[in-house]
Each structure stands twice: as C-alpha cells, then as structure tokens.
Amino acid sequence: MFYRRKFYIVKNEFVEPFNRLFTEINMPNQLKHGSRLLGRWMLPHNETTTEIFAIWEYDSYEDYIEIENHVRSDQEHLQRIKNWYDENGGKEYVQKQYFVEARNEKLYSTIDTALSN
C-alpha cells in the first residue's frame, strides 16, 4: 500500500471556501479516478490559521502516479478548479492571500508489516 498526506495551512477566513472546494470538486474527482480517502481533518494551527489535511490510500506508488495523471488530465475537473479560483479572486490571489503552506507527502509506516499480519 501507498499512503499520502495532502497538507495545508490556510488562513481562518478561507477555511469554509477551501472545505467546499474539497467536498464539491476535489474529492469527487479523486474518488472517480480510484483514490481512496481514509479521512480529512482540521485543527487550529494558531490564532489566524488552520491546518487541514487528508490521508489517501493507493494500492502502490505506481497506482498513485497513474491516478494522479488521470486526475490532472480531466478537462472538466480542470475547468471546475479554474472556475472556483476565478470566483475567489484568481489562482495567484488565492494562493498568496489565503494559503500559508501546502505539501503533498508520502507517509511511512512505523509498524513492521510482518508484525501486523
């Protein structure tokens, strides 16, 4: 199995629009192409920002790459993303104004798989 964590620190005033982007646009497209969502959480980061992250599961790293290629080449999805950015002031504005940090990370297990079976 391959696991990844998509991680963001977002300004508090943008949490609601960002969560809508995920539930209405990003999550459906990921699931459509074969990603498996284990969960998505958020917690206060400090007085002005919130940490939001999702953990996704794939059968292998190769499957992840294949699924991401499908996600990123889905023209209808790309248009929905563009429309969302446009509605919120444009991509450059949103990224500079509301996103403090974003990372896409591979997760490594701390449990020996031989022991967990």
User: Strands 49-58 and 99-106: what pairing?
Assistant: unpaired
User: Residues 30, 37: contact at Cβ < 8 Å?
Assistant: yes
Q: How would you write the pLDDT of the chain (117 residues) with one tens digit per residue?
A: 999 999 999 999 999 999 999 999 999 999 999 999 999 999 999 999 999 999 999 999 999 999 999 999 999 999 999 999 999 999 999 999 999 999 999 999 888 765 655
Confidence at residue 50, expressed as pLDDT on a 0 to 100 scale: 98
Q: What CATH number matches the domain at 2-106, 3.30.70.100, 3.40.91.50, 3.30.460.80, 3.30.70.260? A: 3.30.70.100
Confidence at residue 23, expressed as pLDDT on a 0 to 100 scale: 97
Confidence at residue 10, expressed as pLDDT on a 0 to 100 scale: 98
Domain boundaries, given as residue ranges, for the chain: 2-106
Tell me the pTM: 0.87
